[in-house]
């Protein structure tokens, strides 16, 4: 289709749909080296803070004697004073599998430090963990009813104690109360009942006020309002819907050299994706000159990382006319795919533009099952390719999107944490990216991830070869167990 010219004033329909960070996929996945040991880690932060995070660690290197885990703030003074770590417990069935639970006491950017020791020596790694309360806990109806009945018993008891104390309590044994005494006792009962009701009402108000304060802690992501300026300039306005007071809309730090990683996904067919890097033009405003993009409705996913290491994903929908723009440049990339309605969830091969194949070495897929998603790339002759390069400091980038768009996760070979947050947790990683720029990058990439819920997902896997970004697109149907 030829892109058509559009009127300079084009009104956008932009719907903000606030969801969780890393939308719908709050668990943290990580694969990395703790000294000599290669660990695959899943951290499931609690939905309510304070709450207990569940941790699973699988070592690909045998010989670990003990693993210790400890939570601490990602930045600030608290980051240098670790409390005494807990010892993770080893599975009876598998000596290389460890689990543990950690209390996460406050909301924000935390890290979990994992220390491994064994026959090959010691090592540690730190994984950033955002603790974002997703909801408040509701009281169970049975508990609520029981407490209410107990309160009624207490209130009735108090009223009758006061009444009896004013009447029978002051009588000599064997005597009957007079009319006046009975009247006084009745009045006292009524006054006590009113006081008790008043106390219950005050208690209720106090409870509601506390609940209100807590519900303000429930995480609300930053909102983004996209619009098209002129023919092809995308403008993104970031606003804070009101969450903890300290959040800012202009304290972002570069991740892979960019303040924002923006994905435009054509919906509902999911047949095109653009990975762009808008620049910040003023506080809370990002802009980008778009490449050619066909008309349609787009889901916007905008990844940013705050200065304290807290990552956020903003999302919105945008109706766009056909855009005639500049050719893609820098780290920007685009890919097309077959429409989702004709997707084949069993296909494990994706042809790349130069005829090479990306092959998904697919195992069994399950909900909340942490697996390395491994993809290898072979040339037309079937040999492993030798021209793999780092794309923005990483051997690969994968995005997992559920077809109803309630799940969006942007994952790297190191896991689900953005590089910017990982570097805050472990500054030595800033140099690791250069070390990885070895002459020969392997012809396979692997991403640790677990599908958060059953459903149909599309997976976009981006690698860079001979200076060009290539995207393999796969589909997966995940059954509930």
Contact pattern for Cu ion over residues 71 through 110, marking x by CB under 5 A: ----------------------------------------
**Least separation in angstroms between CB 72 and Cu ion:** 26
Rounded to a whole number of angstroms, the minimum distance from the CB of residue 240 to Cu ion is 25
Residue placing its CB nearer to Cu ion in the complex, 53 or 302: 302
Cross-strand bridge partners of residue 266: 298
How far apart are CB 412 and Cu ion at their closest, in Å?
Answer: 5
Do 335 and 272 form a contact (C-beta atoms < 8 A)?
Answer: yes
Site size for Cu ion (CB under 5 A): 1
CA–CA separation, 461 and 465 (whole Å): 13
Q: Could you tell me which stretch among 119-127, 136-144, 338-346, 395-403 binds Cu ion (CB under 5 A)?
A: 395-403
CA angle, 134 then 137 then 142, to 5°: 155
Pick the closer one to Cu ion by CB: 397 or 402. 397
Task: Give strand pairing partners of 360.
Answer: 375
Stretch that binds Cu ion, among 150-158, 204-212, 340-348, 392-400 (CB under 5 A): 392-400
* Stretch near Cu ion under the rule CB under 5 A, chosen from 80-88, 176-184, 320-328, 393-401: 393-401
Measured CA to CA, the distance from residue 321 to residue 293 in angstroms comes to: 8
From the CB of 35, what's the least distance to Cu ion, in Å?
26
Within 10 Å of residue 438's Cβ, how many Cβ atoms? 9
- Record the tokens describing residue 197, joined without a space: 């009701």
Residue in 44, 113, 397, 458 binding Cu ion, rule: CB under 5 A = 397
**Residue whose token pair is 């807990």:** 86
Pick the closer one to Cu ion by CB: 218 or 390.
Answer: 390
Q: Are strands 97-104 and 108-118 parallel, antiparallel or unpaired?
A: unpaired
CA distance to 221, 247, 351, 480, per residue, from 285 (Å): 16, 16, 37, 41
* Minimum gap (Å) between residue 448 Cβ and Cu ion: 14
Q: Report the distance separating Cα 65 and Cα 37, nearest Å.
A: 11
CB of 45 to Cu ion, least distance (A): 21
Element (H, E) at 137: none
| Residue 275 touches Cu ion, criterion: CB under 5 A | no
Minimum Å gap between C-beta 303 and Cu ion is 8
> Helix 141-166 and helix 179-217: axis angle, to 10°?
150
Nearer to Cu ion, 162 or 398 (CB): 398
Task: Provide the mask over 344-383, with x wherever binding to Cu ion is found by CB under 5 A and - wherever it is not.
Answer: ----------------------------------------
Smallest separation (angstroms) from Cu ion to the CB of 104: 26
Q: Which is closer to Cu ion, CB of 181 or CB of 331?
A: 331
The Cβ of residue 154 has, within 10 Å, a number of other Cβ atoms equal to: 12
Cβ-proximal residue to Cu ion, closest one? 397
Between 189 and 397, CB nearer to Cu ion: 397
CA distance 236 to 285: 6
Q: Which of 44, 48, 213 is nearest to 135 (CA)?
A: 48
Residues that bind Cu ion (CB under 5 A): 397
């Amino acid at each position: 289709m030829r892109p058509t010219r559009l009127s300079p004033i084009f009104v956008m329909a932009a719907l903000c749909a606030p969801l969780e960070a890393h939308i719908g996929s709050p668990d943290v996945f990580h694969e990395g080296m703790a000294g000599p040991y290669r660990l695959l880690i899943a951290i499931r932060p609690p939905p309510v803070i304070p709450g207990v995070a569940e941790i699973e660690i699988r070592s690909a290197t045998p010989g670990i004697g003990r693993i210790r885990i400890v939570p601490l703030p990602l930045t600030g003074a608290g980051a240098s004073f670790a409390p005494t770590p807990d010892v993770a417990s080893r599975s009876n069935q598998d000596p290389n599998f460890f689990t543990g639970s950690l209390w996460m006491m406050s909301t924000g950017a935390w890290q979990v430090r994992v220390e491994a020791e064994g026959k090959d020596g010691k090592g540690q790694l730190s994984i950033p963990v955002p603790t974002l309360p997703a909801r408040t806990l509701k009281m169970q109806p049975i508990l609520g009813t029981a407490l209410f009945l107990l309160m009624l018993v207490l209130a009735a008891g108090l009223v009758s104690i006061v009444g009896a104390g004013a009447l029978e309590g002051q009588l000599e044994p064997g005597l009957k109360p007079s009319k006046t005494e009975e009247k006084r006792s009745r009045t006292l009962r009524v006054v006590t009942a009113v006081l008790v009701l008043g106390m219950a009402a005050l208690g209720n108000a106090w409870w509601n006020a506390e609940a209100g304060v807590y519900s303000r802690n429930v995480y609300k992501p930053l909102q983004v309002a996209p619009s098209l300026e002129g023919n092809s300039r995308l403008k993104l306005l970031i606003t804070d819907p009101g969450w903890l007071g300290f959040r800012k809309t202009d304290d972002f730090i570069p991740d892979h050299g960019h303040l924002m990683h923006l994905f435009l996904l054509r919906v509902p067919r999911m047949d095109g994706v653009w990975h762009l890097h808008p620049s910040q033009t003023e506080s809370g405003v990002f802009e980008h000159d778009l490449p050619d993009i066909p008309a349609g409705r787009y889901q916007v996913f905008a990844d940013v990382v705050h200065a304290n290491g807290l990552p956020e994903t903003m999302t919105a929908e945008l109706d766009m006319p056909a855009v005639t723009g500049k050719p893609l440049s820098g780290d920007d990339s685009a890919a097309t795919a077959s429409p989702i309605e004709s997707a084949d969830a069993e296909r494990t091969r994706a042809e790349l533009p130069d005829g090479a194949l990306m092959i998904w070495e697919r195992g069994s897929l399950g909900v909340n099952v942490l697996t390395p998603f491994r993809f290898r790339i072979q040339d037309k002759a079937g040999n492993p390719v030798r021209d793999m390069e780092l794309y923005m400091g990483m051997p690969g980038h994968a995005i997992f999107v559920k077809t109803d768009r309630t799940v969006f996760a942007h994952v790297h070979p190191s896991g689900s944490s953005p590089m910017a947050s990982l570097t805050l947790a472990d500054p030595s990683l800033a140099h690791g990216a250069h070390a990885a720029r070895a002459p020969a990058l392997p012809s396979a990439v692997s991403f640790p991830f677990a599908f958060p819920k059953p459903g149909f997902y599309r997976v976009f896997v981006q690698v860079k070869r001979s200076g060009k970004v290539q995207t393999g697109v796969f589909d997966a149907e995940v059954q509930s167990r």
